Structure 1
Amino acid sequence: MNWPPHRSEERVWNPRERHGSRADRTLDRITVAIPPRIGQLDYDPTGPVARAHEAALIAIARLEAGFGEHLVPLADFLLRGESVASSKIEHIDAGWRAFGKAVAGGKASDDAKSQLAAVKALIAMVDAAGTGSVGLDDLLEAHRLLMAIDYYTARDAGQLRDVQNWIGGSDYTPINAAHVPPPPELVADLVADLLVFVNRDDLPILAQAAIAHAQFESIHPFTDGNGRIGRALISAVLRRRGLTRRVTVPLASVMLADTGRYFMHLNRFRNGDIDTFVEYLAVGAIHASEAAQESAMALADLPRRWQDIARPRANSAEETLLAALLETPILNADTAQRIAGTTDASTYRALGRLTDAGILELLSESKRNRIWAATDVLAELDALSAAIGRRTIEHI
């Protein structure tokens, strides 16, 4: 389908300071990419793209209806998995043990805190979309949550950029950059136009999410965090249109499996090849949804497996904790006691028995905040990402 490509404009380059190579220091002109306004554009997939789009909608609906409505913990599981995978695309990878510490409020690495911030940002985006629309304030709040963990990034958190940025190339100038987004004075209008597109109800749902994401990445409206917020926007569109109500389709794992292909499709979109990117996301959604169903079945089987291993006494603290582990796989002593509804001593004994049985793992031995995790649940996060990666490499 015909879609307007980005146009190029030459602009004066006036850096505040001169750093880098001689080429960096002497650069005085740059070429920026200006995305088209898409707020009122229409898109109707045809042929193989339309068939992939329809199959993706069916796969997502099957995941939502088959497990999203009946396996409550799946919602948090998929949301966390999507946020962690999205962070890994940006080379932020703490590992699930460190991530578990951050979730429970323990002392955690910067990467773990950043991954948890990505979870909060995604929740904010999806919750806002669930009210019926996505506004600029919602984007800014999600960005604030994402970037607030670090002093330096927090200075630009929750506001559109007022400087020129670029992707790839030199650390100092846009020389040899893979993409130079529009200058800052155009960003606000382009974002406003994008949000018009996002809040329409007359477009094919997954295509709308794909185009919105690619357009967002092309605008690159923030100084940092654009990739994670842009991928969260996909989930927000699916939620706003009502395709998902509880589950989060783990599409970031598709992109993570082959980031080169992902970036290649974004570049094709900028050249006006919209069908390729829509088909890429649709096929990815099929694989992600099918793999998520397999993870859902594995998760649903865990309580029975845990019961067979631990064989807790009826009405004991162990039995109560086991029943809650799928929904609360990471917990500290206070959370465990609240769930068990018993004394400190009884709760600690129960935690100790479940740890000895290999159901729980002690992530932090800090006397002030000991943290346990249900290893099977967190290991399934890695298993899901790996399964999506295998499907993606084999079929996309």
Structure 2
Amino acid sequence: MTTWPEHQTEIRPWNPRHRQGSRADHTLDSIEVSIPPRIAGLAYEPVGAVARAHEAAVIAVARLEAGHGQYLAPLSDFLLRSESVASSKIEHIDAGWRAFGKAIGGGKASDEARSQLAAVQALIALVDAARTAPITAEDLLGAHRLLMAPDYYAAKDSGTFRDVQNWIGGSDYTPIDALYVPPPPELVPALMDDLLAFARRTDLPILAQAAIAHAQFESIHPFVDGNGRIGRALISAILRRRGLTDRVTVPMASVMLADTSRYFAQLTSYRVGNADEFVEYLALAAVHSSEAAAESARNLATLPHRWRDIARPRAGSSDETLLAHLLDRPILNIDSAHRITGTTEASTYRALDRLTAAGVLEVLAESKRHRVWAAVDVIAELDALSAAIGKRSAADVRAIRQAVPARTPGT
């Protein structure tokens, strides 16, 4: 078992800017804040069951990356979207796949759909930055600006570390009865420098580094809003930076979404020094999500043949050309479809109509100016992937509980 320092606590005066809330809120004059340890130079080496889970995770991710080379272009976008949407759902932002597809296609979208699309863009930006250089504060701040952009009020304070005290749970007005109170804002810059120094290291087990960095980020809670989504994107960025992934995004947020209580409990456990538990949790999440993603890759690979059987396009037709690109571009508007077909706009519209009539495409947005089509089978597979990951995760929890002997009274 690896020894890991627990968070310390300090009592700080509470001077609210506005007097709101209950009488208890009004009379609160001090709060207990959490002070995460500095971790930049700490050693970590998993042993026993944690080491075995870590090794299994590295193998599973490597297999996903290497085993589906011919399908990695469509699979890459597919997994990016799956990870971002699941991460948003943890924050109770769920537009549904059809509304999300409408946002991707440029149709009129709900606030939730635009927020989910922004999460995709933030994840892409952070992972792309990690591909070529160590992760920096500006990378995180830039991803945060993208994430917050759809919300006018949140966007005004985006792209900067917080300068106010925040908290999780409890009252809307003060940290009274909060589940967790992160460090005071004046400590955030130094703690983030320390975290990024930890993330730059190359002498740590990869999944363990990503797990600890995520838990530490969530403990610092450096932003007013968006901490969960940026913190989960950091996991993918570290895997990319360390070279474990090159094109795929491992959809681990679906494991967290399947049992959010367990996920939050694991973060709490990390704060009392149980880094091993969180590393094992994330390693098993990587195993389950990689295996489920590999199954989705196999399912996606069968779709072009199925579509051709259904639509029976003429050789050299616009229909055939669209079908050949549909895995790469499952969400289409007339502009993107027209670029694919290379024919007239009228010919492209007719091809889209024929594929819709055949059941290959579904119209997500009916607006004449912003019509959006989607490959319904790809959308269905996105839902299937999330469900499959949830089932694998739940089965893992049951197996763990069954392996632990029942406690008798007094023990």
TM-score normalized by structure 2? 0.96
Answering whether residue 332 of structure 2 is matched by residue 328 of structure 1, we say: no
Q: Which residue of 2 aligns with 1:394?
A: 395
Q: Which residue of 2 aligns with 1:301?
A: 302
Q: Secondary structure at the match of 1:71?
A: helix
Deviations 1:115-172 (A, max 9, x none): 0000000001100100131000000000000001111101111000000000111111
Residue identity in the other structure for 1:180: V
Q: Secondary structure at the match of 2:132?
A: coil
Q: Which residue of 2 aligns with 1:341?
A: 342
- Where do 1:208-223 residues align within 5 Å? 208-223=209-224
Give, in whole Å, the separation in 2 of the partners of 1:153 and 1:106. Answer: 23
Give, in whole Å, the separation in 2 of the partners of 1:329 and 1:358. Answer: 14
Deviations 1:19-60 (A, max 9, x none): 111101110000000000000111000000000000000000
- Where do 1:112-131 residues align within 5 Å? 112-131=113-132
- Work out whether residues 68 and 75 of structure 1, in 8 Å CA contact, stay in contact via their aligned partners in 2: no
Q: Which residue of 1 aligns with 2:62?
A: 61
Identity %: 73
Deviations 1:79-113 (A, max 9, x none): 00000000000000000111011111111000000
Pick which of 67-76 and 313-322 moved more: 67-76
- Where do 1:1-396 residues align within 5 Å? 1-68=2-69, 70-396=71-397
- Work out whether residues 71 and 297 of structure 2, in 8 Å CA contact, stay in contact via their aligned partners in 1: no
Deviations 1:194-253 (A, max 9, x none): 000001000000000000000000000000000000000000000000000000000000
Give, in whole Å, the separation in 2 of the partners of 1:302 and 1:18. Answer: 59
Give, in whole Å, the separation in 1 of the partners of 2:133 and 2:348. Answer: 43
- The alpha carbon displacement at 1:70 in A equals 4.3
Give, in whole Å, the separation in 1 of the partners of 2:68 and 2:279. Answer: 26
- Work out whether residues 68 and 74 of structure 1, in 8 Å CA contact, stay in contact via their aligned partners in 2: no
Q: Secondary structure at the match of 2:11?
A: strand
- Work out whether residues 69 and 246 of structure 1, in 8 Å CA contact, stay in contact via their aligned partners in 2: no
Residue identity in the other structure for 2:391: R
- The alpha carbon displacement at 1:72 in A equals 1.4
Q: Secondary structure at the match of 1:130?
A: helix
Residue identity in the other structure for 2:10: E
Residue identity in the other structure for 1:386: A
Residue identity in the other structure for 1:171: D
- The alpha carbon displacement at 1:383 in A equals 0.6
- The alpha carbon displacement at 1:176 in A equals 1.2
- The alpha carbon displacement at 1:68 in A equals 4.7
Give, in whole Å, the separation in 2 of the partners of 1:77 and 1:68. Answer: 14
Q: Runs of 5+ in structure 2 lacking a partner? A: 398-411
Residue identity in the other structure for 1:234: I
- Work out whether residues 181 and 219 of structure 1, in 8 Å CA contact, stay in contact via their aligned partners in 2: yes
- Work out whether residues 134 and 200 of structure 2, in 8 Å CA contact, stay in contact via their aligned partners in 1: yes
Residue identity in the other structure for 2:26: R
- Work out whether residues 80 and 119 of structure 1, in 8 Å CA contact, stay in contact via their aligned partners in 2: yes
- Work out whether residues 94 and 109 of structure 1, in 8 Å CA contact, stay in contact via their aligned partners in 2: yes
Give, in whole Å, the separation in 2 of the partners of 1:79 and 1:177. Answer: 33
Q: Secondary structure at the match of 1:133?
A: coil
Give, in whole Å, the separation in 2 of the partners of 1:379 and 1:147. Answer: 28
Deviations 1:280-303 (A, max 9, x none): 000111000000000000001100
Q: Secondary structure at the match of 1:164?
A: coil
Give, in whole Å, the separation in 1 of the partners of 2:336 and 2:205. Answer: 43
Give, in whole Å, the separation in 1 of the partners of 2:173 and 2:306. Answer: 55
Give, in whole Å, the separation in 1 of the partners of 2:250 and 2:4. Answer: 27
Give, in whole Å, the separation in 1 of the partners of 2:260 and 2:41. Answer: 30
- Work out whether residues 164 and 185 of structure 2, in 8 Å CA contact, stay in contact via their aligned partners in 1: yes
Aligned pairs, number: 396
Pick which of 85-94 and 97-106 moved more: 97-106
Give, in whole Å, the separation in 2 of the partners of 1:69 and 1:230. Answer: 31
Q: Secondary structure at the match of 2:364?
A: strand
- The alpha carbon displacement at 1:67 in A equals 1.4
Q: Secondary structure at the match of 1:158?
A: coil
